[in-house]
A and B are shown apart, each in its own frame.
Chain A
Amino acid sequence: MSDLHHSPLESAHLSLSARMVPFAGWYMPVQYSSIIDEHRAVREKVGIFDISHMGQVFISGPGALDQLNRLLTNDLARLGVGEGQYTIMLNENGGVIDDLIAYRSAADEYFLVINASKIEEDVAWLASHLTDGATMRNESETWAGMAIQGPQAAQVFAHVFPAENLPPRNGIATLANGSIVCRTGYTGEDGFEFFCPAADGIAFWENFIAAGAAPCGLGARDTLRLEMGFPLNGNDLAPDRTPIEAGLGFFCDLQKSAFTGRDILAQQKTDGPQLKLTAIRCTEKSPPPRAHYPVLDIDGRTIGELSSGALSPSLSIGIGMAYLPAAYSKLGTRLLIQVRERTFPAEVVKKPFYRPTPTA
């Protein structure tokens, strides 16, 4: 395991008897007690995830806005100080390098939270495209991160930081102690993501748990995000797939000034993509659908494969996503998912698979 990165929270996971696995180059907890119990804790109460594996990068300077805006699909110019947006970094062919959240942390400063598996690639891409007037600072190795998610997340925050306020949805704030809190997440529930110097991580982790957050691993993180239809880069996003094909056109502002990959997206939007990332829900009991299982049309012809899949803990039915020819992506289209030598009936549904109860 010496070639793996280690989370600053690792000793806390080990003392909780977490099951640890290599993930995206990091040694991370996949579960503590039960993926299903952890999933339910987030849907019904509140859970906490170690997200120290994710990358944190600051881009600052008078040229930061214009230069970053040429590398990201969403329009950064729409962000006021303290606001954030989901956005995508594309290669020259319009394929996805990474999906990320960009926050405007100060007037001339942007905070990017990027995927663990893509830190090196993203940082190299940014470094090769940023010029005078924009400076990059990569804090990925020096910070701890945790996500507190669930309908009771705001109570946990209030308990740990009684003198502070959570930023509004998608917002970012710096607390008096210098740590960063973002009102975002990857579960569909209310919640926040918290970043602090690595050495302080365990103390905050323990405080959040003492305030009621149940420790949750990457297993539950995956089933929670899939129920929302949120893509996972490496599974559902890839360098040879565009955000138009992935159904993320909402996060691509084709009206703003030029950005890498823009013309290909515009063409695809006009022509209609040939492939679409399609949400598929089983219509009968089945084994858990998993990535790479074949997807067949109703006549048994293979038309694609699942990019992600799971037995939804909230819905107790198989769900998955697959890039399918556009003709098969219409709502209600009947399909089959092949599991080993058997096939199971499924249909195309609208995302999200599961809609969380709004927090009062």
Chain B
Amino acid sequence: MNIPADLRYCASHEWIRLEGDIATVGISDHAQAELTDVVFVELPSIGRKVDAGDPTAVVESVKAASDIYAPIGGEVIEANDAVEADPSLVNTDPYGKGWIFKLRVKDPADAASLMDASAYQSHIA
């Protein structure tokens, strides 16, 4: 299972990549493998303000719909239209082309409370 060391993770299997005050959010390789075929992604609208833990997007497989929670508070500044057009990108490239949305975070220091790769590795073990 691929768990990049430069990302932070939530117990609910989202990852974030923090660059300055911009956080890119997606779901982990483990999560996409558990969901299997992703057939639909519902993206958040741009400008929406979210708190950590708010359901912000929805990823659907054939069998189930799963909420994707904001790992950190902020404002949605971008959503990945490519995964809306081709939801299988979440399966094939969960940390790359399969990202879901970007937030301008309120306080980048909040990311420190999220799991690092080794903590997430233990979480899913």
Contact = CB atoms under 8 A, between A and B. Distances in A.
A31 B58 contact: no
A346 interface: no
A310 interface: yes
Given A219-B63, A287-B65, A290-B65, A311 B39 contact: yes
Contact of A223 (B36, B60, B62, B65): B62
Nearest to B85: A285
Nearest to B41: A287
A34 B63 CA distance: 11
A340 interface: yes
Given A30-B63, A287-B65, A290-B65, A340 B58 contact: yes
A219 B63 CA distance: 7
Contacts of B62: 35-36, 219, 223, 288, 310-311, 313
Interface in A210-254: 219, 223
A31 B60 CA distance: 16
Q: How large is the interface on B (under 10, 10 to 19, 20 to 34, 35 or more residues)?
A: 10 to 19
B120 interface: no
Interface in B45-74: 58, 60-63, 65
Given A30-B63, A219-B63, A287-B42, A36 B37 contact: yes
A313 B37 CA distance: 11
Contacts of A286: 40
B88 to A, nearest CB: 9
Interface in A289-335: 290, 310-311, 313
A352 to B, nearest CB: 19
A35 B36 CA distance: 8
Given A287-B58, A340-B58, A35 B40 contact: no
A287 B40 contact: yes
A223 B39 CA distance: 13
A30 B64 CA distance: 12
A288 B65 CA distance: 9
Given A287-B42, A287-B65, A290-B65, A34 B60 contact: no
11 contacts: A19-B36, A35-B62, A36-B62, A287-B42, A287-B58, A287-B60, A287-B65, A288-B40, A288-B62, A310-B62, A313-B62
